[in-house]
Amino acid sequence: MLLLTCPYCGVTAEETEFSAGGEAHLTRHGPGSSDHDYEAYMFNRKNPRGVHFERWRHAYGCGKWFLAARDTMTLEVLATYPAQTSEPPAEVIAKIKLKRPDWEGYP
Amino acid sequence: MSHRLPNGGRLIRRGKPQSFTFNGKRMTGYAGDTLAASLLANGQTLVGRSFKYHRPRGIVASGVEEPNALVGLGRGDRYEPNQRATTTEVFDGLVAESQNHWPSLDLDLLSVNNLLPQFLTAGFYYKTFLQPRAFWKHVYEPIIRRSAGLGKAPDDKARDPDRYEQIYAFCDVLIIGGGIAGLQAALSAAQSGARVALWEQTAHWGGRAPVDGVQIDGKPAQNWIKTTVEALEKMNNVHLRLRMMGAGVHDHGYVLGYERITDHAPATQAPRHRLWRMRAGHIITATGAIERPLSFAGNDVPGVMLAAAMRDYLVNYAVAAGNSVVVVTNNDDAYRTAIALRKAGLGVPAVIDARAEANGALPQEARALGLRVLTGRGVRKVKGGKRVKGVEICRIDSAGTAHSEVFDCDAIAMSGGWSPVVHLWSHCGGKLTWDTNGHFFRPDPNRPPTGADGAGFVTVCGAANGVMSAVLADAHAAVVTALGRQDLPMPAQDQLPEEDPLEPVWIMPRRAEYPLRAKMWLDYQNDVKVSDVQLAAREGYQSVEHTKRYTTLGMATDQGKLSNINGLAVLSDALGQPIPATGTTTFRPPYTPISLGAIAGEARGAVFQPLRRSPLHDWHAANGADWEPVGQWRRPFTYKRPGESRDQAVNREVRNAREAVSLLDASTLGKILVSGPDAGRFLDMLYTNMMSTLKPGKCRYGLMCNENGFLMDDGVVARIDEQSFLVHTTSGGADHVHGWMEDWLQCEWWDWKVHTVNLTEQFAQIAVVGPKARLLLERLGGMDVSADALPFMDWRAGQLGGFDVRAFRISFSGELSYEIAVPASQGAALWERLMTAGADLGIMPYGTEALHILRAEKGFIMIGDETDGTVIPQDLGLNWAISKKKTDFLGKRGMEREAMVNPDRWKLVGLETLDGSVLPHGALALGKGKNANGQAVTEGRVTSTYFSATLGRGIAMGLVAQGPERMGEELIFAGPQDKRIKTRIVDPVLYDKEGARQNV
């Protein structure tokens, strides 16, 4: 059971206090979008061995959604940050690069 | 025969005899015995029958790794199958029975399977039951079901009367294993000031060091164990726990501990088991090692035992496994058993050593005691059926075609070396390395399981680390590494005689011919032999994981604790590759089986899950409510009057709502306040229709879809004022819809100024339904509820009978209807007032079933009945509720997909049986012909079906291919027992088509 730190309220808590929301930084493709874009938005998900950006909600705490960069192989939580961003902020990227020099970067 | 010796036994109290029964036979053991020790002391070497062949089986081990001695424990409500006799402490009144035999343990007719080994070889599940196909249902499946599992399942009427609980705990360092390594690790960690927890799965500290004659600082290990435990007990930062197994190591230092509190003392008032949910900063495993059996023909005959287990029984319980014991080994350690047996005055005709030479300190000591040591030899086969009678010896490098010597004996001690217990290290991803000196897998310290910070969070020490001597130094070093503290006091020194290296022997003799290999057991519990694994390899199985599943090696309740290494060594040999190239199967928690009671904890009965009660719950309970679970709510299905059946009550409630006036508790309905300057814009995205144009004081029905375009929720939105809306959701959907809103507001449109609050539990909501509803409300006095002042689909705030209310003119029944919302605390009072004021109008409450029937008569859809997550609003004829003006809303793009605009989609219609009967739930409409799979084609299904008291016949709604274009057509629905039900497609609105009754 993972330990995560909510970037809003600062609480570090058990996974059961959060709910997972799948891949982060998806671009919504609504009416007028191509089948290809809509399919990518709805169904195509990354499944990397390594750094993954994902959505979490502090469901049984402050209720806020936040994002996490997590290594799917080692389970290391590289960073958590607020959800109000369409891509990982520079300081999160820097933090990951520091720990994973071989990481190919975002996206 | 096995028996109790007159002296010795470090763990037993001879002054405290304990009486128990085995298969109804009365036996006596001593306090401190395990059941296995007591059984052996009573001469009971035969304890069970094997899984496939029903071969006689005896006790092999002395701990959790025991594969054979599984018994049914207890009686009636407390009966529990498959309990290991080796980990069950004996107590006065214990009742045990052996398993997997018919009619009795001694005479098992199913051992006929033993004569048909070809029938049950590797993969027999896949090979045997294929043909003829018709045999599957009536022949093969019943046979498989009857022979599945070892123990009997408890009676289905049995109810476990014991209590179980769970506890959360935290520590800096958790040490699992209370042998000398674990004790030293706890001591060193405690000296650092850290909060320390130490868990030991047995009832005793010190592990097997006292049995093996370990000396610490020149004195017997027991002295050091005693002082160390006493020192730890005095430290405030140390928490010691016996009978507590580390069951699993999970992500980020989460550990499950399984504590057996009263298994050995059933009369006590404590919970039986406790599941510890420990969050540890660092974990040190000191879980020791498990001895490996040797693979020789007949190695499963009762009386063949692991050498160290035999030593355990002798030293700990003063139990001799036999009068005359032949020891078979490939290492020095087993000589300890030979020496201990001899010193106890028992016969040891020979020590058979597979190695060419045996000149270490222990073999020398054995020879000095006069024991005969035969090197370069192995067991050809064991003589005996229900117990060992002798053993044939041959050259280790031979094919075993003939024996060189025969020994009479009644027990055999075997040792194939030791395997570190690496399970807990591996549970969360710790990797292993093959130790070429010890010939075992041990943890690779460079590849530990990693925690949230990316650092390793498990360290291993002692025998679990592959360290068999200088164990205390290893434990100390583990703590120094884990905590990064160099300043801790140095540990004591443990000494054991030097041992010569073992020589791996995976098959004995090495070139054994087939008849011998077909009697060499690898997995005792699942009856997997050397020949089975070799057959799997010949049939192309290369992956150890596939071989495991094909042969069932290691898949029994012991999870292959004895068999895995031997099995994969045999597989590696058959594949012609080194053992590390084959690798191990995955180690998964729990380490040994834990009770379902402990997993459930207190979560049973009334506290299984939280119960949500409406503010009117108590009134319902006092007035005949026949409850129905709706999510976590309980809602009255109907209110039964004395003498009434469920159906009669429902029909009465339906008629009364249509003819007089009735009340429905609608409090469970979701109520979410959405406010802010962008609230209208937000609801326009959430709903398929336009909400921003709604005027304050007005209500509008709306549909919510997910991004696939599938219908998710529906309900009435009331505009409170310019900036706020009250969103009504379904009872089950409130939390989900609120979460859905927050997701979009926080993660997609975070610059929109909208605030949401889930007010579901803040209000009681009472639907006043029926032609006399207005008359009733007027009697209460207060706000004007006339058609002019409060028309259909309007709402007003005001007072009714002195209560502050919001009155909504909305109807889910098709009748004149007001939904009256009051603060939750006022709900019961308003309800009682309405019941009193309406007494002479024939007022009565109705439940959820009448609600369903009333809405179905009107053709109103219900989320979860007409929808199932694949239905779009257009399927339900709800095109009128989908805005054409809006450029975007959630689900709009999804509805544009090719499959969603296909004219052949199943669409909503009403269904009327020709004979007036009620269609079965979920019944399918039969089309013409068969599909590609040879199944009957279907062209529709029933989504809602009821008896309508209003119309006096069965009514239904369903989804039918091109349904709305087929009005009046007849369909055939399939019922139970191949019944065919003729049905006509009709308009789903069956009652008051113009909607006049609700709009008065």
The reply to whether residue B250 touches residue A1, judged by beta carbons under 8 angstroms, is yes
State pLDDT tens for residues B812-859. 999 999 999 999 999 999 999 999 999 999 999 999 999 999 999 999
Instruction: Give the dihedral sign, CA B1/B354/B289/B537.
Output: negative
Domain spanning B617-668+762-855: which superfamily?
Answer: Probable tRNA modification gtpase trme; domain 1 (3.30.1360.120)
Q: Within chain B, which residue ranges are assigned CATH 2.40.30.110?
A: 871-986
Those residues with Cβ within 8 angstroms of residue B326's Cβ, 6 or more apart along the chain or in another chain: B348, B349, B350, B351, B352, B391, B407, B409, B411, B412, B413
pLDDT of residue B949: 96
pLDDT digits (tens, 9 = 90+) for B630-640: 989 999 999 99
pLDDT number for residue B125: 67
We find that the CATH architecture of domain B164-289+419-488 is: 3-Layer(bba) Sandwich (3.50)
Q: Give the containing element (helix H, strand E) for B757.
A: strand B755-758
Q: Which residues contact B400 (CB under 8 A, 6 or more apart)?
A: B297, B378, B380, B381, B394, B509, B511, B512, B513, B516
What is B1-157's CATH topology? Ubiquitin-like (UB roll) (3.10.20)
Tokens of B555: 């898949």
What's the pLDDT band for B116 if we cut at 50, 70, 90? Answer: low
Residue A55 to residue B739, Cβ atoms within 8 A: no
Give residues with Cβ within 8 angstroms of B124, minimum separation 6: none
Interface subset of A 58-97, CB within 8 angstroms of B: 59, 63-65, 71, 74-78, 83-84
**Chain B hits for A74, Cβ within 8 Å:** 429, 450, 454
Given A1, A30, A42, which is nearest B254 (Cβ)?
A1
Question: For chain B, how many helices (H) and strands (E)?
Answer: 26, 52
Query: In terms of Cα–Cα distance, which of B212, B209, B247 is closest to B229?
Result: B209
How large is the average pLDDT for residues B260-287? 94
How close B473 gets to chain A, by Cα (Å)? 30
- Contact yes or no for A31 and B893 at CB 8 A: yes
Alpha-carbon distance of B730 to B732, in angstroms, equals 6
Nearest CB among B252, B708, B892 relative to A30 is that of B892
Q: In percent, how much of chain A has pLDDT > 90?
A: 96
pLDDT of B148 higher than 70? no
> CATH 3.10.20.440 residue ranges in chain B?
1-157
**Interval B770-791: pLDDT, tens:** 999 999 999 999 999 999 999 9
Which letter does DSSP use for residue A28 in this model? P
The tens digit of pLDDT for each residue in B396-440 reads: 999 999 999 999 999 999 999 999 999 999 999 999 999 999 999
The DSSP result for B267-315, as a single string, is TSSS-SEEEEEEEEEEEEE---EEEPP--BBTTTSTTEEEHHHHHHHHH
Record: contact B254-A99, CB cut-off 8 A? no
d(CA B946, CA B478): 69
Whether the predicted pLDDT of B49 surpasses 70:
yes
pLDDT of residue B268: 83
The shortest C-alpha distance from A63 to chain B (Å) reads 9
Beta carbons of A65 and B746 less than 8 Å apart: yes
User: DSSP labels for B122-180?
Assistant: TTHHHHHT-SSTTHIIIIIHHHHHHHSSSSPPPPTT------EEEEEEEEEEEEE--BH
For chain A, domains (ranges, CATH) are 3-25+35-99 (3.30.2270.10)
Name which of B279, B452, B888 is nearest A30 (Cβ-Cβ).
Answer: B888
The pLDDT value given to residue B255: 98
- Could you tell me if A30 lies within 8 Å of chain B, comparing CB atoms? yes
- pLDDT range class, residue B954, cuts 50, 70, 90: very high
B967 Cβ contact list (under 8 Å, min separation 6): B909, B985, B986, B987
Which of A4, A31, A55 is closest, CB to CB, to B887? Answer: A31
What residue of B is the nearest CA neighbor of A35? B897
pLDDT for the residue numbered B265 = 87
Does the pLDDT of residue B129 top 90, yes or no? no
Residue B401 near residue B513, CB atoms below 8 Å: yes
Point out the residue among B251, B429, B742 whose CB comes nearest to the CB of A63. B742
* pLDDT at res. B109: 73
Superfamily of domain covering B504-582: BFD-like [2Fe-2S]-binding domain (1.10.10.1100)
Give the span between the Cα atoms of B63 and B85, in whole angstroms. 9
pLDDT at residue number B587: 95
Amino acid (1-letter code) at residue B659: E
- Chain B contact present for A9, CB below 8 A: no
d(CA B389, CA B407): 9
Residues ≥6 apart with Cβ < 8 Å to A94? none
B108 vs A55, higher pLDDT:
A55
> If you measure CA to CA, which chain A residue comes closest to B887?
A31
| Cβ-defined contact of A31 to B453 (cutoff 8 Å) | no
Residue bearing the bigger pLDDT, B338 or B122:
B338
Buried/exposed code over A75-88 (b: 16+ C-beta within 10 A; e: otherwise) = bbbbbbbbbeeeeb
- Give how far A17 is from chain B: nearest CA, Å: 14
Cβ-Cβ contacts under 8 Å, A3 against chain B: 251-253, 279, 451-452
Give the CATH class of B871-986.
mainly beta
Best residue in A65, A78, A98 for a mutation probing chain B (most B CBs within 10 Å): A65
Q: Please report the pLDDT score of residue B54 as a whole number.
A: 86
Residues of chain B contacting residue A76, judged by C-beta atoms under 8 Å apart: 450-454
Would the CB atoms of B450 and A75 count as touching at under 8 Å? yes
Measured CB to CB, residues of chain B less than 8 Å from chain A are 250-254, 279, 428-429, 450-454, 707-708, 739, 742-743, 746-748, 750, 887-888, 892-894, 896-897
For CATH 1.10.10.1100, the residue range(s) in chain B are 504-582
A31/B707 touch (CB, cutoff 8 Å), yes or no? no
CA-based angle B82:B87:B91, to the nearest 5? 95
Whether residue B145 is predicted with pLDDT greater than 80 in this model: the reply is no
* Dist CA B516 CA B382 (whole Å): 10
Q: CA neighbours within 13 Å on the CB side: how many for B436? A: 1
Q: Distance (Å, rounded) from C-alpha B69 to C-alpha B62? A: 10
Within chain B, which residue ranges are assigned CATH 3.50.50.60?
164-289+419-488, 293-416
**CATH 3.30.70.1400 residue ranges in chain B?**
670-761
* Averaged pLDDT, A72-78: 96
Q: What is the pTM of this model?
A: 0.91
CA distance A21 to chain B (A): 9
Fold for the domain defined by B293-416 = FAD/NAD(P)-binding domain (3.50.50)
Task: Classify strands B319-320 and B3-4 as parallel, antiparallel or unpaired.
Answer: antiparallel
Q: What percent of chain B has pLDDT over 70?
A: 98
Residue B267's pLDDT is 80
Q: What is the dihedral of CA B752, B757, B760, B764, to 10 degrees?
A: -110
pLDDT at B50: 87
Which of B454, B743, B750 minimises the CB distance to A84? B750
Q: How many CB atoms lie within 10 A of CB A14?
A: 17
Backbone angles phi, psi at B121, to 5 degrees: -75, -175
Cα dist from B176 to B286, B369, B638, whole Å:
6, 38, 55
* Residue environment code for B713-733, b if the CB has 16+ CB neighbours within 10 A, otherwise e: bbbbbbbbeebbbbbbbbbbb
- Per-residue tokens: B39: 């059984």
CATH number of B670-761: 3.30.70.1400
Interatomic CA distance for residues B786 and B497, integer angstroms: 101
Q: Which residues of A touch B454 (CB under 8 A)?
A: 71, 74, 76, 78, 99
Which of A2, A21, A76 lies at the smallest CB-CB distance from B454?
A76
The 10 Å Cβ neighbour count of residue A105 is 10
pLDDT in tens, B467-495: 998 999 999 999 999 999 999 999 999 99
Residue of B698, B667, B694, B700 whose CA lies nearest to B819: B667
Structure ipTM: 0.98
Question: What pLDDT was estimated at residue B117?
Answer: 61
**C-beta atoms of A14 and B254 within 8 A:** yes
Q: Are B928 and B837 in contact (CB under 8 A)?
A: no
Report the DSSP pairing between strands B94-97 and B13-22. parallel
C-alpha–C-alpha distance, residues B373 and B350, integer Å: 6
A contacts of B451 (beta carbons < 8 Å):
3, 75-76
